[in-house]
Amino acid sequence: MPLAPERKLALLYCHRFFVHSHSQLVRAFGLLEQMDFSMNLLEGGLPKFSKNLTYLDLSRNNISGPLPLDFGATALESLLLFKNSLSGTIPNSFCKLKYLQFVDLSGNLLQGPFPNCWDSSEEGNTSTSNGSSSSNPSLPMISEIFMLNLYDNSLSGPFPLFLQKCQRLIFLDLAFNQFSGSLPTWIGEKLSSLAFLRLRSNMFTGDIPFELSKMKDLQFLDLASNNFSGMIPTSLVNLEAMSHIPAGNGSLSDVVYYGLSLSNVVVYYGLSFSGGMRFGPNEFIHMSTLYNDSLSVVTKGQQLEFTTGIRFMVNLDLSCNSLTGHIPEEISALTALTSLNLSWNDLSGTIPMNIGALQSLESLDLSRNGLSGEIPKSVSSLSALSHLNLSYNNLSGQIPSGNQLQVLDNQASIYIGNPGLCGPPLSKKFSYSSNPLKFPHLSFVLIKSGLSGEHI
């Protein structure tokens, strides 16, 4: 694709052109300000970035090797390299990209701790082999990020400290890595703009910080498959974005429509293609291309794929941890929840009586805990429910009936592992002896007459 002599190529859009020549990529890197080579057949390592580069999308290729030790592109705003085979550590030069707003490095082979961006600077630093440094913290550093997606790598170390400078962050996904330690108490105050927080399948420990409740825009919280302990903070019921249905034009929508592996906005400006279309230097075409790629979310007992609909999903997942204590009764205030998963913990006590207030709930999983008592009758009023799992607890009494409960799939498996439960869909029929406390006066009469509950 030769350049016309009278035009400068500012942007090259080659999405899904099946480009496989590494030499084409190297040449383009030295010329462009914005470049999209996503969904091609590119292999090999990353070439040197142009210092004028502001937008780069090389996602869904076969690019391998490490990230550049020196990114060079100091004006870079968008870096989308997801679904490649990049390896090694994230270099310290990443911290110098002070204009960076959208970052997606998910689905690679990156490992090691995140660089120490907290003290990173342009000069006066002493870098180590893993990219850490010690320098003047007053100099510019990365802080403008809206989206950071590091999902599905092998990154380790503590929760990245530099994030407390990223107070505009809306979307943070660190799932399926090896991060460890406790969550910092500053997370709620410094990251108060977060709408999406996923830390699933790491090695985080300690209590769930009550400060999370300061995130007024948080509508998706997934802390599953870690080793969090202690009680579920009652303060989580103050998550405002989980108490009203998303309008679809909130802060999460800004990320979804830009670079969440879902969609991309491409602007052609002043381009000239040999033998093809010509655009004048003051003309542009605004093109929106909706990718078919999606975000994997675990809900309804399985891993499902969501595209732009993720902006309407209100999710709370604390499953597969070591949480103890009761389920807060006030959780019924989170009326916009579409998915609630507290399974595989050590929770005790009863299911909140007003659980039926969660009228938007499509998936409810409280399985594999130590919950006791009866299933609240209000469960039958969950008209949007399509997945329910209450198995392997200590629940007792008659199973509530209701139109929505009757149409759920695999109904018997919903209640298995609760010997005290009875009534349809279980084969064990309701009897007085299965719940004598419901008829205390009748109990006295039966004992006096020598009858048992089986005769009722």
Which three-class secondary structure string do you get for 400-456?
CCCHHHHCCCCHHHHHCCCCEEECCCCCCCCCHHHCHHHCHHHHHHHHHHCCCHHHC
* Run of H or E including 25: helix 22-29
How many CB atoms sit inside 10 A of residue 11's CB?
18
User: Same domain for 110 and 43?
Assistant: yes
Task: State the pLDDT at residue 263.
Answer: 35
Helix ranges, 33-139 (H): none
DSSP for residue 151:
-
Using the 3D structure, point to which of 299, 328, 357 is the last residue of a domain: 328
**Residue 85: pLDDT above 50?**
yes
User: Same domain for 295 and 384?
Assistant: no
> How many alpha carbons fall within 13 Å on the CB side of residue 210?
5
User: Same domain for 353 and 322?
Assistant: no
Task: State the pLDDT at residue 142.
Answer: 80
How many CB atoms sit inside 10 A of residue 309's CB?
14
* Mean pLDDT score, 437-445: 42
DSSP for residue 278:
B
pLDDT tens digits for range 155-164:
999 999 999 9
- Domain limits at 97? 11-328
Using the 3D structure, point to which of 295, 328, 361 is the last residue of a domain: 328
User: Same domain for 114 and 164?
Assistant: yes
User: Same domain for 107 and 183?
Assistant: yes
| Pairwise pLDDT comparison (118 vs 215), residue with the higher score | 215
**Residue 132: pLDDT above 60?**
no
User: Two tokens at 74?
Assistant: 């100091």
Q: With 0-12 CB in 10 A as exposed, 13-18 as middle and 19+ as buried, what is 277? A: exposed
User: Same domain for 37 and 96?
Assistant: yes
Task: State the pLDDT at residue 291.
Answer: 32
User: Two tokens at 339?
Assistant: 């998915």
Domain annotation covers residue 343: no
User: Same domain for 243 and 357?
Assistant: no
Task: State the pLDDT at residue 322.
Answer: 98
Helix ranges, 98-173 (H): none
User: Same domain for 368 and 226?
Assistant: no
pLDDT tens digits for range 358-414:
999 999 999 999 999 999 999 999 999 999 999 999 999 999 988 889 889 888 899
User: Same domain for 45 and 94?
Assistant: yes
User: What is the SS3 assignment for 90?
Assistant: coil
User: Same domain for 382 and 312?
Assistant: no
Tell me the pTM. 0.80
What percent of the chain is predicted at pLDDT more than 70?
68
Domain annotation covers residue 336: no
Task: State the pLDDT at residue 378.
Answer: 95
**Residue 200: pLDDT above 90?**
yes
Domain annotation covers residue 338: no
Domain annotation covers residue 24: yes
CA 156 to chain CA mean position, Å: 18
| Pairwise pLDDT comparison (430 vs 2), residue with the higher score | 430
User: Same domain for 76 and 202?
Assistant: yes
DSSP for residue 27:
H
User: Two tokens at 31?
Assistant: 């010329």
| Pairwise pLDDT comparison (250 vs 74), residue with the higher score | 74
CA dihedral 145, 147, 151, 153 (to 10 degrees): -30
User: Two tokens at 103?
Assistant: 């970052």
CATH number (domain holding residue 198): 3.80.10.10
Number of domains in the chain: 2
| Pairwise pLDDT comparison (157 vs 244), residue with the higher score | 157
Cα–Cα distances in Å, from 384 out to 194, 360, 362, 430? 27, 6, 5, 27
User: Two tokens at 435?
Assistant: 């719940």
Q: Which of 25-29, 34-38, 176-180, 201-205 has the lowest mean pLDDT?
A: 25-29
Q: What is the C-alpha R_g of the chain? A: 27
Domain annotation covers residue 333: no
State the maximum Cα–Cα separation within the chain, in Å, rounded to a whole number.
106
pLDDT tens digits for range 305-321:
444 566 778 999 999 99
How confident is the prediction for the chain on average, in pLDDT? 77
Phi, psi of 412 (to 5 degrees): -65, -35
For residue 376, say if its preceding peptide bond is cis, omega within 30 degrees of 0: no
